[in-house]
């Protein structure tokens, strides 16, 4: 398989970007009227985040907006994906807009446009206003309704300048990691709750799509799912069936409803009483609402899963195995670029989205800063090269891949891992807030320059 991408292989209007999320970079957690989110509460609870790290300061992006925008521009991207912190805009998750919060995002959007960069706005990247969690959070339907109202406000206020909206980032993580196994905010451990949350995240998605369509009719809107192609550990029937179950849990549970198919029955059956159906949460009209047509599918892809049958293990009776011969990132995620090609072709075949954007892809490795201040992150550079190259056969095979966003613009607050895990193509010294473009960032910059100039590999 090709490991160096060819700039000439990508369509001229391809979106090339970098991505971030509000809580991971902004800091200024209590400034200008911002209310608390579940991630403030969670990160301030001892033992939840590595080394007690919080997003209080993060990359201090809130105070460094202009220089960070210059940095983004210097990379040569034509698109930037960021998220709006709901509690910055609506401090309690409901009610009037906080003008200072709105002003920040308005300046961000204007700053991008004056630099010739297309804003891609994510409405929800996990920072739920704490007061909404206090009223039940995503396991209650009211949260989805509040989210729809918030989406309407954002689309109304920024939709004159923002033409690309992502409703929810990775509902699987928000639901399962947050409410199922408790390693993310709000830290609950209850399977039924996590499926109640997942259902309301998808209902919220549907409501947000409708709100964006109503208030920003020219804009494109979609959802971002974290998808991992699954492969059976062996070719046995049992391992293949286990892989199918894992695929239902990770991928189809979200893809099927977003594409109007309702929930996959095999997983509904496995969930039993924990399913949203058994909990009585799927109301008439929900299948249509979750499946309201979208303009694109956002895909966050980092790895693949290799699965074996494991009777009695969890509700899926399956387990992930770790192929020993493979290469792994600092998160112990297998480097599996071929699976990106497979995933793109499979999505096009099974769901036929009008367009697919890779809204996140990247890798963490323990970086070292050299004596001259540089960061020679060869493994990360190779990771990006291999994954961008993996899109070429997908395009050739008919997958409508229309853009790629590297995760992440800069090192940031990596959720439960705090600041230890670095994903940036720009290094951040969290003591001084100095930003240094890594080797991977320089490579991306050069690749994008060649894309623009029409210079081949
Ligand atoms: C994804 C998240 C993103 C980042 C990467 C590494 O699950 O969407 O915020 O943390 O993982």
Question: What one-character-per-residue DSSP string does 88-112 give?
Answer: HHSTTSSSS--HHHHHHHHHHHHHH
For ligand 1, pick from 125, 250, 414 the residue to mutate: most ligand atoms within 8 Å of CB. 414
Identify the residues whose C-beta falls under 6 Å from ligand 1.
Answer: 21, 24, 169-170, 173, 226, 300, 360, 407, 414-415, 423
**Ligand 1 center to 283 CA (angstroms):** 31
Q: What is the pLDDT of residue 454?
A: 87
pLDDT in tens, 58-104: 999 999 999 999 999 999 999 999 999 999 999 999 999 999 999 99
Domain spanning 13-227+297-309+328-442, CATH class: alpha beta
- Closest-CA residue, ligand 1 atom 4, reads 414
For ligand 1, pick from 170, 254, 333 the residue to mutate: most ligand atoms within 8 Å of CB. 170
How many DSSP H helices and E strands does the chain contain? 16, 13
At residue 166, does pLDDT exceed 70? yes
**Ligand 1 center to 237 CA (angstroms):** 33
- Closest-CA residue, ligand 1 atom 9, reads 21
Q: List phi, psi (to 5°) of 105.
A: -70, -30
At residue 2, does pLDDT exceed 80? no
For ligand 1, pick from 174, 411, 415, 425 the residue to mutate: most ligand atoms within 8 Å of CB. 415
Percent of the chain past pLDDT 70, that is, above it, reads 100
Q: What are the residue ranges spanned by the domains of the chain? A: 13-227+297-309+328-442
Atom index in ligand 1 nearest the CA of residue 226 equals: 7
**Ligand 1 center to 425 CA (angstroms):** 14
Q: What is the pLDDT of residue 6?
A: 96
Instruction: Please calculate the CA angle 405-407-412 and round it to the nearest 5 degrees.
Output: 145
Atom index in ligand 1 nearest the CA of residue 364 equals: 6
Average pLDDT over residues 262-283: 98
Longest Cα–Cα distance in the chain: 63
* Average pLDDT for the chain: 98
Q: List phi, psi (to 5°) of 197.
A: -60, -45
String of DSSP letters for 194-263: HHHHHHHHHHHHHHHHHHHHHH-TT-EEEEEEE---EEESSSSHHHHHHHHHHHIIIIIHHHHHHTT--S
Q: What is the pLDDT of residue 3?
A: 85
- Closest-CA residue, ligand 1 atom 10, reads 414
CA 267/CA 247 separation, integer angstroms: 10
**Ligand 1 center to 191 CA (angstroms):** 22
Threshold 0.85, pTM exceeds: yes
Q: Confidence band (pLDDT; 50, 70, 90) for 396?
A: very high
Q: What is the pLDDT of residue 103?
A: 98
Per the structure block, which two tokens stand in for 299? 């895909």
Atom index in ligand 1 nearest the CA of residue 24 equals: 9
Instruction: Please calculate the CA angle 434-435-441 and round it to the nearest 5 degrees.
Output: 165
Residue position matching structure tokens 């956002």: 298
For ligand 1, pick from 168, 299, 407 the residue to mutate: most ligand atoms within 8 Å of CB. 407
Atom index in ligand 1 nearest the CA of residue 415 equals: 10
Atom index in ligand 1 nearest the CA of residue 169 equals: 8
Q: What is the pLDDT of residue 1?
A: 61
CA 343/CA 351 separation, integer angstroms: 11
**Ligand 1 center to 415 CA (angstroms):** 8
**Ligand 1 center to 23 CA (angstroms):** 11
Average pLDDT over residues 406-422: 98
Average pLDDT over residues 130-157: 98
CA 324/CA 273 separation, integer angstroms: 37
- Catalogue the active-site residues: 170, 360
pLDDT in tens, 431-453: 999 999 999 999 999 999 999 99
At residue 183, does pLDDT exceed 90? yes
**Ligand 1 center to 453 CA (angstroms):** 31
Inter-helix orientation angle 378-396/337-351, to 10°: 30
Q: Confidence band (pLDDT; 50, 70, 90) for 456?
A: confident
Atom index in ligand 1 nearest the CA of residue 421 equals: 6
Average pLDDT over residues 408-433: 98
Average pLDDT over residues 313-324: 97
pLDDT in tens, 201-246: 999 999 999 999 999 999 999 999 999 999 999 999 999 999 999 9
Average pLDDT over residues 401-414: 98
Residue-wise over 127-150: b if at least 16 C-beta within 10 A, else e?
bbbbbbbeeebbbbbebbebbbeb
């Amino acid at each position: 398989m090709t490991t160096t991408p060819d700039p000439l292989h990508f369509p001229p209007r391809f979106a090339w970007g970098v991505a971030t999320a509000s809580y991971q970079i902004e800091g200024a957690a209590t400034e200008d009227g911002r209310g608390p989110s579940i991630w403030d509460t969670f990160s301030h609870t001892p033992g939840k985040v590595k080394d007690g790290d919080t997003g209080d300061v993060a990359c201090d992006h809130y105070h460094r907006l202009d220089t960070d925008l210059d940095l983004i521009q210097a990379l040569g991207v034509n698109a930037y994906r960021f998220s709006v912190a709901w509690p910055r805009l609506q401090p309690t998750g409901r009610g009037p807009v906080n003008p200072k919060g709105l002003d920040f995002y308005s300046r961000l959007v204007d700053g991008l446009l004056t630099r010739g960069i297309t804003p891609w706005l994510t409405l929800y990247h996990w920072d739920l206003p704490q007061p909404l969690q206090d009223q039940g959070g995503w396991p209650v339907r009211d949260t989805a309704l509040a989210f729809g109202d918030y989406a309407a406000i954002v689309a109304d206020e920024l939709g004159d300048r923002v033409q690309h909206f992502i409703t929810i980032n990775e509902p699987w993580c928000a639901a399962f990691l947050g409410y199922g196994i408790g390693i993310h905010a709000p830290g609950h451990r209850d399977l039924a709750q996590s499926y109640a949350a997942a259902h309301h995240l998808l209902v919220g998605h549907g409501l947000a799509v409708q709100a964006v369509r109503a208030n920003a009719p020219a804009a494109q809107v979609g959802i971002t799912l974290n998808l991992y192609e699954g492969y059976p550990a062996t070719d046995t029937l049992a391992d293949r069936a286990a892989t199918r179950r894992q695929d239902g849990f990770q991928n189809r549970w979200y893809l099927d409803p977003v594409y109007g198919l309702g929930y996959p029955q095999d997983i509904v059956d496995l969930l039993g009483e924990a399913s949203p159906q058994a909990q009585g949460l799927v109301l008439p009209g929900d299948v249509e609402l979750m499946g309201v047509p979208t303009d694109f599918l956002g895909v966050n892809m980092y790895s693949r899963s290799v699965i074996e049958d494991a009777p009695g293990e969890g509700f899926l009776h399956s387990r992930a195995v770790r192929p020993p011969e493979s290469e792994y990132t600092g998160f112990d995620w297998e480097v599996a670029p071929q699976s990106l090609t497979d995933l793109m072709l499979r999505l096009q075949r099974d769901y036929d989205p009008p367009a697919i954007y890779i809204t996140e892809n990247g890798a963490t490795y323990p970086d070292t800063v050299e004596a001259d201040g540089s960061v020679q992150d060869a493994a990360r550079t190779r990771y990006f090269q291999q994954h961008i190259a993996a899109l070429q056969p997908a395009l050739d095979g008919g997958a409508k891949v229309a853009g790629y966003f590297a995760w992440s613009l800069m090192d940031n607050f990596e959720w439960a891992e705090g600041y230890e895990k670095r994903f940036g193509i720009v290094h951040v010294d969290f003591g001084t807030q100095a930003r240094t473009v890594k080797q991977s960032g320089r490579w991306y910059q050069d690749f994008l320059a060649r894309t623009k100039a029409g210079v081949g590999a």
